[in-house]
Structure 1
Amino acid sequence: MAEGKIIKALSGFYYVIHDEGITQCRGRGVFRKNGITPLVGDYVVFEAENENEGYIMDIKERKNELVRPPISNVDQAILVFSAVEPNFSPVLLDRFLVLIESNHITPVICITKMDLLDNESLEKINQYVSDYKQIGYDVIFTSSKTMDGIEKLRPYLRDRISVFAGQSGVGKSSLLNALLPELSLKTNEISNHLGRGKHTTRHVELIQFEGGLVADTPGFSSLDFIDIEADELAHCFPEMRERSHDCKFRGCLHLSEPKCAIKAGVEQNEIPPYRYQHYVEFIDEIKERKPRY
């Protein structure tokens, strides 16, 4: 039997890249019986008589996995957010960051469509970017039309497995087209009626790029905190994680507890107030989540 990595999943077939090329495989029935779904990014053991008739026999242990987009063994996530059309959304960015942090994946924030900003909007974006950089996140400005910032993004992708994710219509496919013109990935304009982009990517696929692999993924506009508990949420905010051990009480949720280091950080402008407000909103959402049995 041979080993390889799933680089595309489409219509029940899994395309496995290995030393001899790419083999089209199906999953064993036992996976379905046990509720296991092979994911793009999985390292697998397979057997095949030819390049079109293979079967995945085993899936190796994953170091991480995402539900939406469905992908595993990711080194970093390029979180693509547009400056306008649709407008930059810090609360949605923080939702993505929480998900990525909870899976121990390195995030890189990429803000697109910078060529469309007026001076007032640029000033507002720069303030947010200053905050995120202060927290420790890498932030890159790009424009697929003017090509500004594209070369700054390129080194991040070398020799790593990267997933591109973000709200629909922010320009993920346009960004990948700018990096890899030969891809000619489909793009769509923003729907004026809905105010959001149409989904242009229908499946997850890993694309070879300068020694690394890059995933273009279906866009989505919301995500749920399915596997994050209330007492874990602060660990997904780096500026809170580093201060939480200074709280007076163990298990502090940083809401109404006395002598809370996080609330003190907000009062002293060491933690952006909107980040703390998002944290409180997310805590409420997690508490209201229906229990799973």
Structure 2
Amino acid sequence: MPEGKIMKALSGFYYVKTADDIYQCRGRGLFRKKKVTPLVGDNVVFDIQENKDGYITEIKERRNELKRPAVANIDQAIIVVSAKEPDFSTLLLDRFLILVETNDIEPIIFISKVDVLSSREFEAIQDYQTIYREIGYKVEMISVKDDRDLDQLSDYFTNRISVIAGQSGVGKSSLLNRLNSNLNIETNEISTSLGRGKHTTRHVELVDIYQGLVADTPGFSSLEFETLELEALASCFPEMKERQQDCKFRGCLHVKEPKCAIKQAVEANDIAKFRYEHYLQFYQEIQNRKPRY
């Protein structure tokens, strides 16, 4: 039976691409019984019926998967955050980074809408860019109106499968439309009353960008740490992970423990204070999370 990759999921149908065609498929009932849902990015085996319709019979083993957005086998996650409208938020950015880090996917940060900044605002965003780059993240400041900014992004996409994610209204669809003019992904302006965009994406789909594939996904309004455990949280902060072994006590959670290397690094400005404050906020959130049964 033929094999292919799920390129789009919409209304119970899965569009599977092979080397020479795309087939509209449904999932077998056995997946529902096993509580397994085919995801965009899955490599699958399928049985062709009439008129290029078929049924997915097997889902190959996944390298990784995300729940929101629902996509599998991703090489990297491109997190788009706006410099303005909506305002740049390190808290929201760090939430996305934690989600990506927990799934062992490489994160890349695009800061959009830098063309609307004043010189002082631009310098402030540059300072944040420096902080995140020193942590080890790849960070690009871009404007979808500037062809030079877009041309420098091509190497990020070539021969890679990427998920592009971010808060509604940060310009994800505008970016994809500029990178591939054939897409015509619909976008809406920022709602002045809500302070966020009304993103019209309703499904996940892999689209061609610079000889790679990118999953355009519905926008997010919040991210919850549903499965992340307290003991694993610090490892999702690269600058904390590399210092954990220097704490005096094994199993240090970097909150109240004495001789904590993380807290010492914060005091010495080797770890950005706002990053540690976000760690504490996420720590409390996970600690107060209602148990699931």
TM-score interval (norm. to shorter) = over 0.9
Encode CA deviations 1:64-90: one digit per residue, 9 max, x unaligned.
111111101100011001100000000
Secondary structure of the corresponding residue to residue 97 of structure 1: helix
Corresponding position of 2:286:
286
Which deviates more, 52-61 or 229-238? 52-61
Aligned to 2:259: 259
Q: Distance in 2 between matches of 1:201 and 1:82?
A: 18
SS at match of 2:270: coil
Output the CA distance in 2 between the equivalents of 1:201 and 1:106.
Answer: 24
SS of residue in 2 equivalent to 1:149: helix
Q: CA deviation at 1:49?
A: 2.4
Gaps of 5+ in 1: none
Counterpart secondary structure, 1:205: strand
- Name the CA shift for 1:143/1:86 in 2 (closer, same or farther; >3 Å): same
- The residue type paired with residue 220 of structure 1 is F
Percent sequence identity over matched residues? 60
Give the C-alpha shift of residue 208 in structure 1.
Answer: 2.3
User: C-alpha distance in 2, partners of 1:77/1:115?
Assistant: 24
Tell me what 1:66 maps to: 66
**How far does residue 58 in structure 1 lie from its aligned partner after superposition?**
0.9
Matches within 5 A, 1:1-293: 1-50=1-50, 52-293=52-293
Rounded to whole Å, the distance in 1 between the matches of 2:6 and 2:91 is 33
Whole-angstrom distance in 1 between the partners of 2:69 and 2:51: 27
CA contact (8 A) 1:142 1:148 kept: no
Q: Deviations over 1:216-252 (max 9, x none)?
A: 1101121111121000001100000000011111111
Whether contact under 8 Å (1:140, 1:152) holds in the other structure is: no
Bigger Cα displacement from structure 2, 8-17 vs 137-146: 137-146
Q: Are the counterparts in 2 of residues 22 and 51 from structure 1 also a CA contact under 8 Å?
A: no
> How many residue pairs align between the two structures?
293
The question of whether the paired residues in 2 share the 8 Å contact of 1:23 and 1:50 is answered with no
Whole-angstrom CA distance in 2 between matches of 1:133 and 1:51 = 51
Per-residue deviation, 1:52:
3.4
CA–CA separation in structure 1 for the residues paired with 2:67 and 2:108: 19
Q: Distance in 2 between matches of 1:19 and 1:181?
A: 23
Q: Return the alpha-carbon distance in structure 2 between the equivalents of residues 164 and 20 of structure 1.
A: 26
Residue ranges of structure 2 left out of the alignment (5+ in a row): none
**What's the C-alpha RMSD, in Å, of the aligned pairs?**
1.0
Residue 146 of structure 1 deviates from its aligned partner by 2.8
Relative to the length of structure 2, the TM-score reads 0.98
Q: Structure 1 residues 210 and 123 mapped into 2: Cα distance closer, same or farther (>3 Å)?
A: closer
Q: CA deviation at 1:267?
A: 0.5
Q: CA deviation at 1:148?
A: 4.2
Partner Cα distance (1:76, 1:192) in 2: 32
1:216 counterpart letter in structure 2 = D
Asked if the contact 2:3/2:18 (under 8 Å) is kept, the reply is yes
Aligned mates of 1:42, 1:155 — CA distance in 2: 24
Aligned AA (2:12): G
Secondary structure at the residue paired with 1:255?
coil
Instruction: Give the ranges of 4+ consecutive aligned residues of structure 1 lying more than 3 Å apart after TM superposition.
Output: none
- The residue type paired with residue 282 of structure 2 is F
Question: C-alpha separation between the residues in 1 aligned to 2:37 and 2:206?
Answer: 17
Tell me by how many angstroms 1:2 deviates. Answer: 1.2
Give the conservation status (yes or no) of the 8 Å contact 2:83–2:111. yes
User: CA shift at 1:120, angstroms?
Assistant: 1.8
* Residues 110 and 139, structure 1, Cα contact 8 Å, conserved in 2: yes
